[in-house]
Amino acid sequence: MHGSPHCAGAGRPASCDVTKNILRPDGQPRRSRGAASGLPCVLTLNGGSSSIRFAVYERGPAPRLRLAGKIDRIGSRGTNLTVASPAAKPPVARGLAASDHRTAAGFLLDWLEQQPVFAALKAIGHRVVHGMKHAEPERITPRLLAELHRLTPYDPDHLPREIELIELMRQRHPRLPQVACFDTAFHRTMPRVARLLPIPRRYAAQGVERYGFHGLSYAYLMEELGRLDPAAAKGRVILAHLGNGASLAAVRRGGSIDTSMGFTPAAGLVMSTRAGDLDPGLLSFLARREKMTPAEFEQMVNHASGLLGVSGTSSDVRDLLAREARDERAAEAIALFCYQAKKWIGAYAAALGGLDTLVFAGGIGENAPVIRARICAGLGFLGLELNPKGNAKNAAMISAHTSRVKVRVIRTNEELMIARSVCRTLGLAELR
């Protein structure tokens, strides 16, 4: 058992005032609409390698946000719980001591249980990165939980932490139904030729194939595109989720036909600290030359490569853009990212037999006009033309009126997609 986490520097237990931004001026809890109205709510949990994101939504066909936040930098110095609610802005952050995910998860649940909205919780939805052949969200049962334990070798960076969150919730609130929302599910529509890996066939029987990730983000983007432009959502679409983790997906008639990530999230486009696609001969070369072990190689390609490795200074696009004029390595890192993204778009336009809509999302895709412009430069042969003013303003539609390809910026929302999935999986009646 781990000791109770404390707010950094305060010496107080988990009940310290991390809720400052959701208190009334008189210091009493500010009740959310969900708690006050008695409407059932859904908690979403998104456990990453060094963070836990959470949100509370009122249930319904269009869930309404009541509370959101995250614990980040878990296991490092400067671990924070950041909390926001629609009724109180801006968000507030408080430091805490959490050396591992178990401690951070315990802290988060202690804190959530003190919030008025917690009494209205009727279900919990979890982002589960790897779902193998699962094509839909599923209610978590002992059988499914046992299966997730068996899948941990396929994703040792994420699954153990996600399972830990599920089990903690089962221990403390066994009557709350939980739903697993698989990040790989969106890509189960990929044709077999897109899933096959060119290695001996016996490995396919062990589940070694291309799965693809960022599926919750892609599912959300396609739902939003369907709302904004139903005809476009049925056409030839390329989705570019560009953030710390980055990937692209080719979508035809609403279904994924290909995606840049593969058997693991490390494949495909160069990312903040991940190398993306590499010549497999590099592993044997470094093993001979530097006596590098497989574990050291995995650490390098996942945590010390990508933009960080090429630039030697930062994994953050904002830092690199600020330095590129005077730092050749920063400029090369940015150029490599844009070049590879452009190549994937060209490849997927070929796979789709043309392109009708390109969607940018993710922290970079939503907020970096210069990156979008450099990626799209030279794609005029596809009929793609940007509107420079709209792009500079991060407008929802950034293509020119004369462009045959519509280019959109859509802010993705994995937590909302999880909440929607929980409501659909359990049914609104069950969430009353």
Conformational region of residue 195, where left means phi above 0, alpha means psi within -120 to 50, and beta covers everything else: alpha
CB atoms within 10 A of CB 262: 19
**How far is it, in rounded angstroms, from Cα 326 to Cα 11?**
45
**How far is it, in rounded angstroms, from Cα 325 to Cα 382?**
30
183 is catalytic: yes
**How far is it, in rounded angstroms, from Cα 79 to Cα 275?**
26
Q: Which residues contact 429 (CB under 8 A, 6 or more apart)?
A: none
**How far is it, in rounded angstroms, from Cα 405 to Cα 78?**
44
CB atoms within 10 A of CB 29: 14
What is the residue type of 24?
A: R
Residue with the two structure tokens 């920063």: 330
For residue 312, what are the CA distances in angstroms to 321, 328, 331? 14, 11, 11
Specify the length of the chain in residues: 432
**How far is it, in rounded angstroms, from Cα 113 to Cα 103?**
16
Question: Is the C-alpha dihedral spanning 426, 429, 430, 432 positive or negative?
Answer: positive
Query: Is-contact 57 44, C-beta < 8 A?
Result: yes
Could you tell me the two tokens for 206? 């062990």
Could you tell me the two tokens for 190? 């990929």
Which string of b and e fits 7-28 if b means at least 16 CB within 10 Å? bbeeeeebebebbebbeeeeee
Residue with the two structure tokens 């509107």: 387
Query: Is-contact 406 397, C-beta < 8 A?
Result: yes
**How far is it, in rounded angstroms, from Cα 362 to Cα 360?**
7
**How far is it, in rounded angstroms, from Cα 112 to Cα 122?**
14
**Helix ranges, 17-158 (H):** 33-37, 101-113, 142-151
Active-site residue, from 72, 155, 183, 258 = 183
Could you tell me the two tokens for 204? 């396919």
Helix (H, G, I), strand (E, B) or coil at 47: strand
The residues annotated with a catalytic role in the active site are 183
